[in-house]
């Protein structure tokens, strides 16, 4: 190959490398803006590069960003909540959904018991009223 051809290939390779680096940096910035956990998988998906590329070229910087993000927290309804990975969020969501379902079942049974007790109370009030009237009538 001639010198011009190799220069052109080198320039194209350098430009492609620069585009990938910018895409990775933008992906990290995007995850930070969204206040999402920084993972190799998410960065690779957003930047359109392979995870191997990230491990080969950005391992230390991404690991440092990930550690910083995990040690950080955000405030939700006045409560400091640590940053989590999407998998952790899915797990927490599943746990909370199960808890909500259990609480709905418990609420349903408590409402049924409440209705039963109200009926029983009305019956006892009726009996009490019956005895009160009998007592009043007998004392006349």
For 55-84, the pLDDT digits (tens) are: 999 999 888 888 776 676 667 778 777 766
Q: What does the pLDDT read at residue 85? A: 66
Per the structure block, which two tokens stand in for 89?
């969020």
Measure Cα distances from 100 to 97, 103, 105, 106 in Å.
5, 5, 9, 10
What is the C-alpha to C-alpha distance for residues 16 and 69, in angstroms, rounded to an integer?
29
Q: Give the residue ranges of the chain where pLDDT is below 70.
A: 1-2, 69-70, 72-74, 83-86
The answer to whether 39 touches 65, Cβ cutoff 8 Å, is no
Check residue 96 and give its pLDDT: 93
Residue 74 pairs in a beta bridge with 81
Q: pTM for the complete prediction?
A: 0.50
What is residue 1's predicted lDDT score, i.e. its pLDDT?
A: 55
Q: Which helix (H) or strand (E) holds 97?
A: helix 86-138
């Amino acid at each position: 190959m001639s010198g011009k051809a190799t220069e052109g290939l080198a320039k194209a390779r350098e430009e492609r490398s620069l585009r990938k680096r910018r895409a990775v940096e933008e992906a990290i910035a995007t995850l930070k803006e969204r206040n999402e956990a920084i993972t190799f998988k998410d960065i690779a998906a957003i930047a359109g590069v392979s995870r191997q590329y990230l491990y080969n070229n950005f391992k230390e910087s991404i690991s440092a960003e990930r550690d910083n993000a995990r040690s950080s927290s955000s405030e939700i309804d006045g409560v400091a909540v640590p940053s989590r990975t999407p998998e952790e969020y899915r797990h927490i969501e599943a746990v909370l959904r199960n808890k909500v379902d259990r609480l709905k079942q418990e609420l349903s049974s408590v409402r049924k018991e409440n209705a039963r007790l109200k009926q029983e109370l009305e019956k006892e009030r009726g009996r009490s009223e019956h005895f009160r009237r009998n007592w009043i009538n007998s004392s006349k």
